[in-house]
Amino acid sequence: MSNPVKLNIVKSLRKLIDTPLMAMKLPNVDPDLISVLSVLLVVVAIMHHSNLWWVFGWVMASLIFDWMDGVIARKHNRATKRGYIVDVYCDRLSEGILFTVFFVPWFYLFILNMILTVIGFKTKVHFNLALRLIFLVVLVLQLAGLNWGFIIP
């Protein structure tokens, strides 16, 4: 099985954001390890679920780790099919863990993302919702006083 291809808009945006990082000196570590660490950061986030600022910080750190695993893999020519699959599984695992605490509507969106992942593997087109990022935007809005009931502390 080959890796699903990303949509052109995603590839363009990714290239724009990743180009400055590719010029930097980045550690040559196993990208799969970074993916696993991003999951562990979500575990720490739910351990502090009563403090939404802590949740924000840990989930943001998780997203940064998730982003950096791909940058490091590409920079050091370590991008593989296995690494892609590990990254996708770690992404879905992170969402599943996070959304057990913040259930409605996030868990249902997580199920949709699982379905999109399976479709992506079958059609070879990578398309998923950026749920952790969307969660952070909604969380920031709630912390700013705009609460629609999507995040319950």
Residue 152 pLDDT exceeds 80 = no
In a domain, 17, yes or no: no
In a domain, 18, yes or no: no
Quote the pLDDT of residue 20.
83
Spatial CA neighbour of 45 closest among 56, 31, 29, 34: 56
The whole domain housing 71 covers 29-143
In a domain, 122, yes or no: yes
In a domain, 64, yes or no: yes
Compute the average pLDDT of residues 93-121.
91
pLDDT single digits (tens) 18-46:
888 888 888 889 999 999 999 999 999 99
In a domain, 148, yes or no: no
Task: Place 12 in a pLDDT band, splitting at 50, 70 and 90.
Answer: confident
Neighbours of 144 (CB within 10 A): 8
In a domain, 4, yes or no: no
User: From residue 121, how far is each of 6, 86, 127 by CA, in Å?
Assistant: 12, 13, 10
Q: Prior bond to 105 cis, omega within 30?
A: yes
In a domain, 125, yes or no: yes
Question: What's the total number of domains in the chain?
Answer: 1
Specify the pTM. 0.84
- Type of residue at 44: V
Quote the pLDDT of residue 113.
93
Quote the pLDDT of residue 104.
80
In a domain, 9, yes or no: no
β-strands 125-126, 5-6: how paired?
A: parallel
Quote the pLDDT of residue 116.
93
Do residues 72 and 38 touch, judged by C-beta distance below 8 A? no
**Cα 41 versus chain centre, distance:** 11
Spatial CA neighbour of 36 closest among 86, 85, 80, 82: 86
Quote the pLDDT of residue 3.
62
Q: Which residues 6+ apart lie within 8 Å of 106 measured at CB?
A: 95, 98, 99, 131, 135, 150
